[in-house]
Structure 1
Amino acid sequence: MQPCVLTSTGGAPVAARFHAPPGAVRGAVVIGGAMGVKQDYYAHFAQWLSEQGYLVASFDYRGMGDSQRGSLRRLRADLFDWTDDFDTVIAEALARSGGAPLYLIGHSLGAQLPGLLKHRDRVDGLLSVAAGSGYWRDNAPQLRRMVLYFWHVLVPVATRLFGYFPGRKLRKVGDLPAGVVMQWRRWCMNPRYHVGAEGAPVREKFEAARFPVVALSITDDELMTERGTQVLVDCYANAPRRVERIAPADVQARRIGHFGFFRDQFQSSLWQRALTQLQAFRSPGETRDPADGISSRVAPGLLTAH
C-alpha cells in the first residue's frame, strides 16, 4: 500500500492510498466512500482486490479523515468540490495504471457523484453498493420517522452554531463541512435528488454518462430502499444499467445492512461477486490496450436498462 497526498481544485490536499497488484495490472479501481466514512473502512477490501490483479485506490474527501487540515469551521467545500477530489484520484489512477480499464466502486455517496465527474468518459463501469437517492421519502421506514427533524432542525441549527456539522458529537453521520451538509440537505429535499435540486447543468451531466452501472441493493439496508436505488440509477438515464437485490440469506448471513458489504466476513461471497462484476464490465472484443490507450466499453445490450 502506497499512501500519498494529491492536490485537488484550489490546492486542497486529498489523502489517497494505492494498492498495487503483485503482477500485471488487469484494471484500475477507485473506491468512492460513503458520507462521513474514512477510507480506512475499505482498506481490507482494497488490499484483497489488489491481490486479484487490480490497482486499487481509496481516498478521503477534503476535510475528512487523512485529508483534514485544521478546523472544519474554516473549510469552504461542497459536494462539487468532493467530486473534484474524486476526479483527482481518478487522474492519478489512470496515470499509474498504464491505460488499463478504469472501474469505480461507489459506496452510498460514492455512487451518487460519478455522473458529475470530468473523467466520466474514461470510466469503464460503476459498481454501486448500498447507494440510492437520499430523498427523504425514499428513505427506509425507520429512518423516515426522524429524518424531517434531522434536516429541518438538527442540521441547520447545529451547523450554524458550530460552523460545521458536528456529527461525531451527535452520533449522526460524522463531522461534515457546512457547505457539504447544507447542499446534501437540499438534495435530500428533492424527489429527484441532485438532478432535481441542481437543475439542468447536473441533469445533463448525468445524461451524458455512458458507462455501465450495476447497483447492488441490500434488502436489509437501514438507509436505502430499492425505490431509492432505482431513482439514483435512473439519473444515469442514457447508460446501460440495472439493479440487483441481495438478501442476507443469499450469503448465509443474518445481516448485511448499509455498511456490511465491505466487512471481511464477506470475502468469499460479496467481495467475489464484486470481482466477477468488474470482469463482466469488459465485453468480448472490446478491451483497452495499454499500449494505445483505447478505451473499452460494455455494449448497452449487455445490461438491462430500466
Structure 2
Amino acid sequence: MEPVSLAISCDDGYVLRGHLWEPGSSEEGGLGAVVVIAGATGVKATYYHRYAAFLAENGFTSITFDYRGIGESRESTLKNLQASWYDWALKDLDAVLEWAQINCAEKHLHVVGHSFGGFSVGLARNGRRINRLLTVGAQHAYWRDYRPGHRLGLWWRWHILMPALAIWNGYFPGKRLGWLEDLPQGVAMDWARSPRDFTTGGAGHAREMMRAHRASFTAPTLAVAATDDPFATETAVLRGLSYYYPNSSAILVQLKPQDFGRAEIGHFSPFHSSFRDTFWMGTIRWLRDGVNPWALK
C-alpha cells in the first residue's frame, strides 16, 4: 500500500510534509474515520508508517506528518529556526487537523498521539474537533515522574546536557549523539522545563488561549503506557491528563510486558510491527468502537 505525499501549509506559511493512506474499497472496518498520528519528540514520521498502513488495511484513512525541523519538514539548518513545543502543537498539529477536517469532512476525526504527540492535542485549537483520542506513553518528560532507577540518568541527559548543548549549538544535535533526531533549540528547552512552567508560560494572551484550548477538549481519551516505560509512569500519565485534558473522560491503562509474552515493552516498542496482532489490533477496537480492549488487564 503506497501512501500519497502531502504538503500542508501552517498559518505562518511553514510547509509540513506528511503522508496519507486511504483504505481500499473493500476495507470498511474504520467506519468512515480518519486517524492523525502525532509522533514523539525527535522521532521522524516514517517510524509510524507501518502502523499507518495497518490502520488503512483496517478501513481507516490515516495521516502521518513531520513537525517543523524534523524529518521531511526540516529545512537545511535548524539554527535560528523558531520552533518550540508550542509551535508544534498550536501551528503544526493544528494545521494537520484542519487539513483532515477539510479534506475528509465526511469522516470522524481521531488522533493517536505518542509521547509529546499525546498531549499536543490539548494545546491545539482544533483539538476540540476530534471524536476520540488514543495516547501511547504520553507525558511531559518531567524528571520527578521518571521511573525509579532511571531518574538520575534521564535527568542528566535530558534536563542538563540537552538544554546546554542546544544553547551552545543553536539546536540540539541529537542525531550526532545517536539519541534521537536533531531538535530545534526551542523544543529542547521546552522538554527541559517542568510541566507547570510550560503550561503557564508565555504572554498573557497565549496563556489564556492554551487554557481555552485545553478546556475545549472533551473527546474520550484512552491513555496507554507500558509498566516498564521509564518516562510514562502512572504518575506521569495522570499528571499529563490533568494538565492537558481536564474535561475529557479519560481511561488509563498500564500494559504489562508479560501480557504480551514479552520481557519488555518500554517507550517505543508499541509501534513496532511485532505488535501488529496484539497491541495494534487492540487500538482498532478503541478507534472503531470506543471500547477499551484492555479493561481486564
TM-score by length of 2: 0.88
Q: CA separation in 2, counterparts of 1:142 and 1:35?
A: 23
SS at match of 2:107: coil
Q: CA separation in 1, counterparts of 2:240 and 2:45?
A: 23
* Letter of the structure 2 residue corresponding to residue 233 of structure 1: L
Identify the match of residue 226 of structure 2 among 218, 225, 235.
Answer: 218
- Structure 1 residue 239 and structure 2 residue 230: aligned? no
1:167–1:173: 8 Å Cα contact kept in structure 2? yes
Identify the match of residue 10 of structure 2 among 4, 8, 11.
Answer: 8
- Structure 1 residue 172 and structure 2 residue 179: aligned? yes
- Structure 1 residue 269 and structure 2 residue 278: aligned? yes
- Structure 1 residue 93 and structure 2 residue 97: aligned? no
Report the Cα offset of residue 171 of structure 1: 2.9
Report the Cα offset of residue 121 of structure 1: 2.2
SS at match of 2:37: strand
Q: CA separation in 1, counterparts of 2:221 and 2:171?
A: 33
* Letter of the structure 2 residue corresponding to residue 266 of structure 1: F
SS at match of 1:104: strand
SS at match of 1:211: coil
* Letter of the structure 1 residue corresponding to residue 45 of structure 2: Q
Q: CA separation in 2, counterparts of 1:65 and 1:167?
A: 13
Partner of 2:109: 102
Q: Go from structure 1 to structure 2 and tell me whether the alpha carbon gap of 1:252 and 1:150 turns closer, same or farther (over 3 Å shift).
A: closer
SS at match of 1:113: helix
User: CA deviation digits over 1:66-88, x for unaligned, max 9?
Assistant: 11111001311111211111111
Q: Go from structure 1 to structure 2 and tell me whether the alpha carbon gap of 1:259 and 1:148 turns closer, same or farther (over 3 Å shift).
A: closer
* Letter of the structure 1 residue corresponding to residue 153 of structure 2: M
Partner of 2:210: 202
Report the Cα offset of residue 246 of structure 1: 0.7
Task: Give the superposed CA RMSD.
Answer: 2.0
1:28–1:94: 8 Å Cα contact kept in structure 2? no
- Structure 1 residue 81 and structure 2 residue 83: aligned? no
User: CA deviation digits over 1:221-259, x for unaligned, max 9?
Assistant: 122211101111122111111101111111222221100
Report the Cα offset of residue 153 of structure 1: 3.4
Q: Which runs of 5+ in 1 are unaligned?
A: 283-303
Q: Go from structure 1 to structure 2 and tell me whether the alpha carbon gap of 1:193 and 1:22 turns closer, same or farther (over 3 Å shift).
A: farther
1:124–1:281: 8 Å Cα contact kept in structure 2? no
Q: CA separation in 1, counterparts of 2:115 and 2:264?
A: 18
Q: CA separation in 1, counterparts of 2:160 and 2:150?
A: 15
Q: CA separation in 2, counterparts of 1:2 and 1:149?
A: 41
- Structure 1 residue 281 and structure 2 residue 290: aligned? yes
Partner of 1:299: none
Q: Go from structure 1 to structure 2 and tell me whether the alpha carbon gap of 1:108 and 1:28 turns closer, same or farther (over 3 Å shift).
A: same
Partner of 2:124: 117
Partner of 1:130: 137
Q: Relative to structure 2, which stretch is displaced further, 126-135 or 143-152?
A: 143-152
Q: CA separation in 1, counterparts of 2:8 and 2:72?
A: 12
Q: Go from structure 1 to structure 2 and tell me whether the alpha carbon gap of 1:238 and 1:110 turns closer, same or farther (over 3 Å shift).
A: same
* Letter of the structure 2 residue corresponding to residue 272 of structure 1: M
1:194–1:202: 8 Å Cα contact kept in structure 2? no
Q: CA separation in 1, counterparts of 2:173 and 2:260?
A: 36
Q: Relative to structure 2, which stretch is displaced further, 45-54 or 200-209?
A: 200-209
1:138–1:225: 8 Å Cα contact kept in structure 2? yes
* Letter of the structure 1 residue corresponding to residue 283 of structure 2: A
- Structure 1 residue 33 and structure 2 residue 39: aligned? yes
1:132–1:224: 8 Å Cα contact kept in structure 2? yes
Identify the match of residue 18 of structure 1 among 20, 25, 33.
Answer: 20
Q: CA separation in 1, counterparts of 2:6 and 2:140?
A: 32
SS at match of 2:12: helix
1:206–1:237: 8 Å Cα contact kept in structure 2? yes
Partner of 1:286: none
- Structure 1 residue 60 and structure 2 residue 66: aligned? yes
Q: Which runs of 5+ in 2 are unaligned?
A: none
